[in-house]
């Protein structure tokens, strides 16, 4: 069984990507950092796929922006449209449509399990990806959730396309993970929890990322995110040991 893991990503265009990091960053800087996040996250998936049957994707939107991702994705990363255009069941709205579109797309490609992954956690430990894949190989129908510290989730995995997990969710709030667990419980789906991690989608979390990459308060097993580090260094926001230097964003 292969597990398709799709990073949910908008095309990294100024004024449209990582806008909540402004005005801490300019809109152009926010877009550049978003592109660096994609480089690191897809590289993290590539590393995980060396030891587990994981197939990496970027689930992108909007339609027609495929070329904007050129040069930003690790080798072996596939593209999957997930703009939420197909009809969705009642209650599945907004971002939920895009998530369901991605999940259904992964299953249509023949994967035995499917995960959606955020594009805001460049330091997510590789081990979390491996644990998600291993959990989905367990017998029986169940859900895997990687809770984000802000109340959302960085990863959601399943063995069937359960639209109910995306129904009546208050997207972009601190209730997303709690409500998703409730939908799973109502559907009789056991939930396997991964370790929490953080999203970099607000200025305070950007500071946390910078501190982490500078070596202050680094969380155990964090991915080193070389492209994000190089990008922040280019902005003059990071001073770090040269041993951690990576490819410029």
Q: Is 124 exposed, middle or buried (0-12, 13-18, 19+ CB in 10 A)?
A: buried
Which two tokens mark 158?
Answer: 């399943």
Continuous H helices in the chain = 27-49, 95-108, 126-136, 176-186, 203-213, 226-234
Rounded distance between C-alpha atoms, residue 240 and residue 6, angstroms: 30
Q: Look at residue 221 in the predicted model and tell me its pLDDT.
A: 85
| CB count in 10 Å sphere of residue 121 | 28
Per-residue pLDDT, averaged over 63-78, amounts to 95
Q: Is 23 exposed, middle or buried (0-12, 13-18, 19+ CB in 10 A)?
A: exposed
Q: Look at residue 219 in the predicted model and tell me its pLDDT.
A: 65
Is the pLDDT at 34 greater than 90? The verdict is yes
Rounded distance between C-alpha atoms, residue 42 and residue 45, angstroms: 5
pLDDT in tens, 177-200: 999 999 999 999 999 999 999 999
- Which three-class secondary structure state does DSSP give residue 165? helix
Is the pLDDT at 241 greater than 90? The verdict is no
Q: What is the CATH number of domain 3-198?
A: 3.90.550.10
pTM value?
A: 0.94
Q: Look at residue 217 in the predicted model and tell me its pLDDT.
A: 56
For helices 27-49 and 126-136, give the axis angle rounded to 10 degrees.
50
pLDDT in tens, 152-174: 999 999 999 999 999 999 999 99
Per-residue pLDDT, averaged over 120-132, amounts to 97
Is the pLDDT at 207 greater than 90? The verdict is yes
Per-residue pLDDT, averaged over 69-75, amounts to 95
């Amino acid at each position: 069984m292969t597990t398709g893991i799709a990073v949910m990503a908008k095309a990294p265009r100024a004024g449209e990507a990582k806008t909540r990091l402004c005005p801490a960053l300019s809109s152009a800087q926010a877009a550049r950092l978003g592109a660096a996040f994609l480089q690191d996250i897809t590289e993290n998936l590539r590393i995980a796929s060396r030891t587990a049957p994981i197939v990496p994707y970027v689930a992108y939107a909007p339609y027609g922006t495929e070329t904007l991702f050129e040069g930003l994705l690790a080798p072996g990363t596939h593209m999957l449209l997930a703009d939420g255009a197909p009809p969705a069941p009642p209650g599945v709205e907004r971002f939920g449509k895009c998530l369901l579109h991605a999940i259904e797309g992964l299953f249509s490609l023949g994967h035995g399990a499917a995960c959606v992954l955020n594009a805001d956690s460049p330091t997510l430990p590789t081990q979390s990806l491996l644990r998600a894949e291993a959990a989905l190989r367990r017998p029986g129908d169940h859900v895997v959730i990687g809770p984000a510290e802000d109340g959302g989730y960085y990863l959601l995995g399943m063995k069937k396309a359960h639209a109910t997990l995306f129904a009546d969710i208050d997207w972009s709030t601190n209730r997303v993970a709690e409500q998703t667990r409730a939908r799973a419980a109502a559907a009789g789906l056991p939930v396997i929890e991964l370790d929490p991690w953080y999203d970099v989608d607000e200025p305070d979390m950007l500071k946390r990322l910078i501190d982490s990459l500078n070596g202050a308060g680094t969380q155990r097993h964090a991915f080193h995110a070389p492209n994000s580090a190089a990008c922040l260094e280019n902005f003059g926001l990071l001073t770090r040991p040269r041993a951690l230097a990576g490819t410029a964003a």
